[in-house]
Structure 1
Amino acid sequence: MSTQRSTPSDPSMSRRAVTAATIGTALEWFDFTLYGAVSATVLPKLFFPAMEPTAGLLASLATFGVGLAARPLGAITCGYLGDKLGRRNLMLATVTMMGLASVLMGLLPTYSQVGVWAPVLLVLLRIIQGFALGGESTGAQLMALEHASPDRRGRYSGLLGLCSPLSQILANAVLMALAAILSAEQFESFGWRIPFLLSFVLVVVAIFIRLKVDETPAFVALKNTAKEKVRSPLKAALGSHWKTIVRLMLFFCSPAALFYLIVIFSLSYLTKHLGLTQSMGFMSLMVANICAIVGALAGGYLSDRWGRKKALAFGSCMTLLILTVYFPILNTQNIASIMAIMGLFLGFTQFQSGIQPVAFAEAFPTQVRYSGSALAYTGANLLVGGPMPMIAVWLMSQSGNSPWPLVSLCAVINLVSLAMIVIGPETRGIDLNHVTDGASQDTASNVLLSKQLGGQP
C-alpha cells in the first residue's frame, strides 16, 4: 500500500477558503430560504388560487419539497464531478446556477397571467435551485475543511453551520422591510419578487470570492498519487461505504426535520392557526435564527474540545427535551415566550448542524468524500426534511389541530438520530489529507493511520 500526504494549506488560504465557503453558501441559502418564506405566505394565492386554502398551502409547500427532492440529484452529479475534477470548479458552477434560477423566479408570471404554466415553471426552477444547493452544500464544506488545520476544523464547521440561519435572518429581514414599506396588495403584486431579482448581484460577489481560493490540499494529494484511485467515486461510496452513508443520513434526519418544522411550518402555524401577524411571525423567526447562529458556532467549537460524538449527543438530547414543550409554549401566544422557545429549539438544532460538516467530512476518505458526504446530507433532507412541513400540515388537519401526533413523530426521528450518534466512531483529528491506494479503504483504517489530537493514534 502506498501513501502520500499533501502539503497543508497555509493559514491565509485556510481563512480565505472558509470565508469563501461561508459567504458563498450563505448567499445560496438566502435564495433557497426566500422561497421557503414566501411558499408559506403569498405563493398559495398567486400560483394555486383554484384550490381551497389548506390544499393551496399544501401544494405550495409541496413545491418547496420539490427543491429538496432535487438535491440528491445535484449531490450525486456534483459529488461525482467534485471527486473527479476538484472542489473549486464545482463551487463556481453551483453558485451561478442557483443565482440564475432565483432571478428567473423573480420574473415568473402568476396563475392569473399564464394559467397552469405558472406552477409548472415554478416547479422547474425549484428543481434547478435544489440541484444547485445539493452540490453546493457539501462542496463548500469540503473546500473549507480540507484547507483547515485539524485543531480548528470544528470551529470552521461551526462557521459553515451558520450559513442557513444567517440566510434566514437576511431573507426575513428583507421580507419584513418590504412588508413594512409596501401595502399587502403591493407586496403580493411585486414586493416578494424584489429579493429574488437581487440574486444577480449576489452571484457576482460569490464568484469573485471563490476565484481567489486554491484547490484543496487533500484533492491535490489525491491527483498527485501514482495512479487513479477511483474510476467511479459514486459506485465506490455506495459499494464500500454504504453503512456509513446510511448511519450519517439517519443521524441528520432529526436536525433536518426539526429545522424545517421550525422555519417553515412554524411560520404558517403562528400566522394561520394562532392568528399572529406576518410581521410578528417573521420577527420570531429572526430571533430564533440569531440564536441558531450562536448554536452553530458553539457546536463547532465544543466538538473540537469534547469530540464530535459527545457534542452531537448533547445537542440531540436538548432538542428532544425542547420538543416536548414547544407547541404548548407557542399556544400561549405570549410573544416573549414564543421567541424564547423558538430560539432554544432552533439554536440546539443548529448546534448539531454546526458539527455536521466536519463529522461528515471525517467519515470518508478523500477519494469518495464528496460523493459520500453529499449522499448522506441530501438523503436526510429528501427523506424527512422536505416532506416535514407537508407532514406537519396533514397531521394537524387529521388530529383536530392537536400537535401531539406531530410531536410523537419528531420524537421518534430524534431518538433514531441519537442512536446513530451513539453507535458511530469518534473521528476528531483524522488526517483528511491522507491518501491510500484502494477505493474501498474503510474509514476505520484511516483512523488508525492518522494522528488524533493530542498525539493519540
Structure 2
Amino acid sequence: MTAETQRPANAAMRTRAVAAATIGTALEWFDFTLYGALAATILPKLFFPAMEPTSALLASLATFGVGLAARPLGAIICGHLGDKLGRRNLLLGTVTIMGLSSVLMGLLPTYSQIGVWAPVLLVLLRILQGFALGGESTGAQLMAIEHASPDRRGKYSGLLGLCSPLSQILANGVLLLLASTMSAESFDAYGWRVPFLLSFILVIVGVYIRLKVSETPAFVELRKSQVAEVGNPLRDALRLHGKTVLRWMLFFCGPAAIFYLIVVFSLSYITKTLAVPKQTGFLLLMGANVCAIVGALAGGMLSDKIGRKKALAIGSVATLLILFVYFQILDTKSFLPMLAIMGLFLGFTQFQSGIQPVAFAEAFPTNVRYSGSALAYTGANLIAGGPMPVVAVWLLQVCNGSPWGVVAVCVVFNLISLAMILTAPETRGIDMNRSDAPGVLAEGARFMPIGTRKSH
C-alpha cells in the first residue's frame, strides 16, 4: 500500500477504533449504571425486604459497591493479558461477559421467591459485571487513544469520557419511561427487568463493531520489538512505575467519589430524604448528564490545547467550589436550581474524566500501559467510588440528616486529587509508539515529545 492510500486507511481505522470503543463502552456502562439507579430505589425492597428501610438501602448500595470492588480483579487479569496478547482480543471477551451477566440479572428471582439465594446470586452477577467493566474501561480507552494521532488524543479521550454520562441518560431515560407508563406495582414486579433483558443487544453490537477494528499501532510496534514476550506486565507496572500508578490512582479518587455521590447517592437523597418523586429524580439525572457529555468533550479538547495538567486543574478546582453549595441548592426542592447545580457538578466531574483516558495512557510505556492504567483507574473506584454511596448514607444518618459530613469527605478526596494533578509531569505530545526502550522508563524518566527525539 502506498503512502497516499495508507493515510486514508489509517484515518478510517482511527474513526472505526474510537467508534468501537465509545459505543461498546457506553453499552457496558448502561448496564452498570442502570444497576446503580435501581440499587438506590427499587432493589432494597425486592432483595432485602426483611431489613428496616435504612439497612436495606445500605445493603442494596453495598451490592453496587461489590461490582466496583471486583473491577480491580478484572483490571489486573485483563490488564496483564491485554499487555501480553493485545487490546482487541480482550475487549471481545469483556463485552460478552458484561452482556450475559446483565441478561441473567434480568431473569433473577427476588427474595420473596427464593429467599436468601436472591441477594447471593445478585452479588455473584455483580462481581461478573465488575470484572468485565474492570477490563473493559481501560482496554477501550487504549484501543482508541493508541490509534489516535498525537494532536487529537485529547479529543478522542473526551469522546470516551462521554460514555458514562451517555449511559446515564439512556438508563435513566428507560427507567423514566417505564415508571411513567407502568403502575408502581407493575414496575416493581417486572418493569425493572426489561432494560437488563435488552442487554443481549450489547453482546451482538459490541462483538460486531470490535471485530472490525485492527490491533493498535503501539502494540503492533511492541510485538515487533519482541519486548512483549519478556517480563511480566503487572509486575513491571508495579516495580518500575509504582509511583505513577499511585499518583494517578489518588488523582482519580476525587472524580470517582464525586461521580458516584451524584449519580447514586444524590438520587437516593432526592427521592427519600427530600421526598421528591422518582420520575423527577430520573429527569434531573438525565439533564445533569447532558451537561456531563459537554463537559467530557470540552475537557478532552481543551487538554489538546493547554496540556493535561492545566485542564485537569481547572476541573478539580471547579468541583471543589461546587461541593460547598451542592446540598444547600438541592434542599430548595426547586427543579431548575437543582438541575443547574447537578449539571455543573457532574459536568466538571466529567470534564476531568474526559481527560483521564489520555492522561493515564500517556503516563505509561506500551508494554505496561494496560496494566498500569487499569490499576490506577479501578483502584480509585475501589477506594473512593464504590464506597461513596454507602459512606454517604451512613454519614447522613450519623449527622442527623445533615450533609456536611458527606461534603467533608468529598473535599478531602478533591484536595488530594488536586495535589496529584499539580505534582504530575505534563505528557501532552509524547511518542506513545516508542519501541526503543518500552518498559525500561521508570518513575522520574522523561518522555521526549514527538519531533524532539535525538537520532542514534
Does TM-score exceed 0.5, indicating one fold? yes
Contact 1:430 1:446 in 2 (8 A): no
Q: Which amino acid aligns with 2:76?
A: I
Change in 2 beyond 3 A, CA 1:456/1:85: closer
Q: Which amino acid aligns with 1:308?
A: R
**Equivalent in the alignment of 2:145:** 145
C-alpha deviation, 1:228, in angstroms: 4.3
**Equivalent in the alignment of 2:324:** 324
Paired with 1:137 and 1:380, the residues of 2 have a C-alpha distance of: 13
Matches within 5 A, 1:201-220: 201-220=201-220
Change in 2 beyond 3 A, CA 1:87/1:404: same
Q: Which amino acid aligns with 1:385?
A: G
Contact 1:329 1:338 in 2 (8 A): yes
1:297-336 Cα distance to aligned partner (Å, 9 max, x none): 0000000001000000000000000011000000011110
Paired with 1:411 and 1:302, the residues of 2 have a C-alpha distance of: 25
**Equivalent in the alignment of 1:4:** none
Matches within 5 A, 1:12-411: 12-228=12-228, 230-411=230-411
Paired with 2:278 and 2:226, the residues of 1 have a C-alpha distance of: 60
The count of corresponding residues between Structure 1 and Structure 2 is 448
Q: Which amino acid aligns with 1:324?
A: F
Paired with 2:31 and 2:293, the residues of 1 have a C-alpha distance of: 18
Secondary structure of 1:320's match?
helix
C-alpha deviation, 1:438, in angstroms: 5.9
**Equivalent in the alignment of 2:412:** 412
Paired with 1:281 and 1:147, the residues of 2 have a C-alpha distance of: 39
C-alpha deviation, 1:206, in angstroms: 1.1
Paired with 1:126 and 1:184, the residues of 2 have a C-alpha distance of: 25
Paired with 2:113 and 2:228, the residues of 1 have a C-alpha distance of: 54
Paired with 2:206 and 2:85, the residues of 1 have a C-alpha distance of: 20
Change in 2 beyond 3 A, CA 1:326/1:379: same
Change in 2 beyond 3 A, CA 1:109/1:394: same
Paired with 1:118 and 1:363, the residues of 2 have a C-alpha distance of: 43
1:222-256 Cα distance to aligned partner (Å, 9 max, x none): 00114545421000001110000000000000000
Paired with 2:262 and 2:94, the residues of 1 have a C-alpha distance of: 27
Superposed CA RMSD? 1.4
Paired with 1:268 and 1:281, the residues of 2 have a C-alpha distance of: 9
**Identity of counterpart residues, as a percentage?**
70
Q: Which amino acid aligns with 1:133?
A: L
Q: Which amino acid aligns with 2:177?
A: A
1:112-139 Cα distance to aligned partner (Å, 9 max, x none): 0000000000000000000000000000
Q: Which amino acid aligns with 2:292?
A: A
1:28-54 Cα distance to aligned partner (Å, 9 max, x none): 000101100100011000000000000
The alignment's TM-score, normalised by the length of structure 2, stands at 0.96
C-alpha deviation, 1:435, in angstroms: 1.3
Paired with 1:227 and 1:196, the residues of 2 have a C-alpha distance of: 42
1:86-111 Cα distance to aligned partner (Å, 9 max, x none): 00000000000000000000000000
C-alpha deviation, 1:405, in angstroms: 1.2
Q: Which amino acid aligns with 1:174?
A: V
Secondary structure of 1:432's match?
coil
Contact 2:242 2:443 in 1 (8 A): no
Q: Which amino acid aligns with 1:62?
A: A
C-alpha deviation, 1:437, in angstroms: 3.6
Change in 2 beyond 3 A, CA 1:229/1:440: farther
1:386-439 Cα distance to aligned partner (Å, 9 max, x none): 000000000000001111111111111100100000000000011111113463
Q: Which amino acid aligns with 2:274?
A: L
Q: Which amino acid aligns with 1:179?
A: A
Secondary structure of 1:447's match?
coil
Secondary structure of 2:435's match?
strand
Secondary structure of 1:427's match?
coil
Secondary structure of 2:204's match?
helix
Secondary structure of 1:425's match?
coil
Contact 2:84 2:228 in 1 (8 A): no
Paired with 2:405 and 2:42, the residues of 1 have a C-alpha distance of: 28
1:171-217 Cα distance to aligned partner (Å, 9 max, x none): 00000000011100000000000000000012101111111000000
Paired with 2:403 and 2:228, the residues of 1 have a C-alpha distance of: 53
Paired with 1:258 and 1:376, the residues of 2 have a C-alpha distance of: 17
Q: Please, which runs of 5 or more residues in structure 2 have no aligned partner?
A: 1-5
Q: Which amino acid aligns with 1:264?
A: V
Q: Which amino acid aligns with 1:451?
A: I
Paired with 2:32 and 2:444, the residues of 1 have a C-alpha distance of: 36
Matched, 1:451 2:422: no
**Equivalent in the alignment of 2:3:** none
Contact 1:168 1:286 in 2 (8 A): yes
Paired with 2:364 and 2:80, the residues of 1 have a C-alpha distance of: 14
Contact 1:230 1:439 in 2 (8 A): no
The alignment's TM-score, normalised by the length of structure 1, stands at 0.96
**Equivalent in the alignment of 1:3:** none
Secondary structure of 2:51's match?
coil
Change in 2 beyond 3 A, CA 1:330/1:228: closer
C-alpha deviation, 1:456, in angstroms: 9.3
Contact 1:229 1:438 in 2 (8 A): no
Change in 2 beyond 3 A, CA 1:14/1:441: same
Q: Please, which runs of 5 or more residues in structure 1 have no aligned partner?
A: 1-6
Paired with 2:334 and 2:227, the residues of 1 have a C-alpha distance of: 64
Change in 2 beyond 3 A, CA 1:197/1:226: closer
Change in 2 beyond 3 A, CA 1:376/1:227: closer
